[in-house]
Amino acid sequence: MADETSRRVAVILLGPPGAGKGTQAKLLAARYGVPHISTGDMFRDNAARGTELGVQAKAIMARGELVPDSLVCDMVAARLRQPDAEHGFVLDGFPRTPAQAGWLDAFLENEFIDNPSGSKGLPVVIQISVDYNQLLLRLTGRRSCPAGHIYNIHLQPPRVADVCDVDGLKLVIRNDDREEVIRERLAAYELQTRPLADYYWNKGRLVSVNGDLPVPAVTGQMVRAIEQQGAAAEVKNPAGSF
Ligand code: AMP
């Protein structure tokens, strides 16, 4: 069997804001040598650079609402067509509506899958479940450094208050981690994103992990789910792609 860095691995992480999608996505992406694709990070980057997309997304994000599907899907299509995504990816924060999920399935079938009749082409969909009070603690305590390292003042504080352990940069509160915006983001999740679990469940593609456990234990559950799907796919199609 190929080693972990040469395997083709495609993963979709589902879960409410604060479930740990970003943390786990980074770990999985490094483990399997595939890009971590976070639509939230892409919008924040566009907003910081003042692009047209960033200007449109910024006000929507500040209200805790979702950016329209068409804008998100175009951005994701361009990203998935980059050469580094050819052998897989970890999607974090996308899809977020049933319409985005339907679009993604069609996109992957058209552009990614060597063998559309085999289940090998479909990403593993992992839902992270977290207790509601734990979510609030994570979101209200979250501090990020501009380079992307994430801390939590209650659960995982930096060694020096408000300073990144890794690069010494000043930690900031994400614009949308303010309490009133957090409420909106959780409401948007309940209304628009939670139905996605049913979409994938009905297709027999959903795996659920307990996101209340410590970070390494959550990663372990995910790796097992990915390995199991990989093993099943290898039996179905020894020569195919992911
Ligand atoms: P996140 O960092 O994933 O929590 O995303 C931050 C914000 O970016 C969200 O609250 C939305 O406004 C926007 N966003 C990110 N991903 C999507 C998506 N797939 N669909 C719509 N809006 C998104």
Which tens digit of pLDDT belongs to each residue from 91-110? 999 999 999 999 999 999 88
Can you tell me which atom of ligand 1 is nearest the CA of 64?
A: 10
Angle at Cα 189 formed by Cα 51 and Cα 225, nearest 5°?
100
Residue of 7, 8, 120, 142 marked catalytic: 142
Pocket flag, ligand 1, residue 139 (CB < 6 Å): no
Q: What is the pLDDT of residues 27-70, one digit of tens each?
A: 999 999 999 999 999 999 999 999 999 999 999 999 999 999 99
Percent of the chain with pLDDT over 90: 73
Annotated catalytic, 96? yes
Q: Sorting pLDDT into bands at 50, 70 and 90, what band is 240?
A: very low
Q: Sorting pLDDT into bands at 50, 70 and 90, what band is 242?
A: very low
Q: Sorting pLDDT into bands at 50, 70 and 90, what band is 1?
A: very low
Instruction: Check whether 119 has a pLDDT greater than 80.
Output: no
Cα of 115 from ligand 1 centre, angstroms: 31
Pocket flag, ligand 1, residue 16 (CB < 6 Å): no
Cα of 116 from ligand 1 centre, angstroms: 29
Pocket flag, ligand 1, residue 20 (CB < 6 Å): no
pLDDT at res. 7? 58
CA distances from 182 to 16, 67, 136 (A): 11, 16, 8
Q: Whose CA is nearest to atom 15 of ligand 1?
A: 40
* Contacts of residue 66, Cβ cutoff 8 Å, sequence gap at least 6: 60, 72, 96, 97, 188, 192
Q: Are 141 and 155 in contact (CB under 8 A)?
A: yes
pLDDT at res. 113? 62
Pocket flag, ligand 1, residue 177 (CB < 6 Å): no
pLDDT at res. 2? 42
Pocket flag, ligand 1, residue 185 (CB < 6 Å): yes
pLDDT at res. 121? 63
pLDDT at res. 232? 55
Closest CA to 81 of 33, 37, 30, 122: 37
Which residue among 58, 67, 91 has the greatest number of ligand 1 atoms within 8 angstroms of its CB, and so is best to mutate?
A: 67
Q: What is the pLDDT of residues 160-219, one digit of tens each?
A: 999 999 999 999 998 888 888 999 999 999 999 999 999 999 988 899 999 999 999 999
Q: Determine the Cα–Cα distance for residues 219 and 201; give it in Å rounded to an integer.
A: 21
pLDDT at res. 237? 41
What is the side-by-side order of every strand in the sheet holding 124-129?
36-38, 88-92, 9-14, 124-129, 206-210
* Contacts of residue 32, Cβ cutoff 8 Å, sequence gap at least 6: 4, 5, 7, 9, 88, 90, 226
Residue of 26, 31, 58, 174 marked catalytic: 174
| Residue whose entry in the numeric block shows the structure tokens 């069609």 | 106
3-class DSSP state for residue 75? Answer: helix
Cα of 75 from ligand 1 centre, angstroms: 12
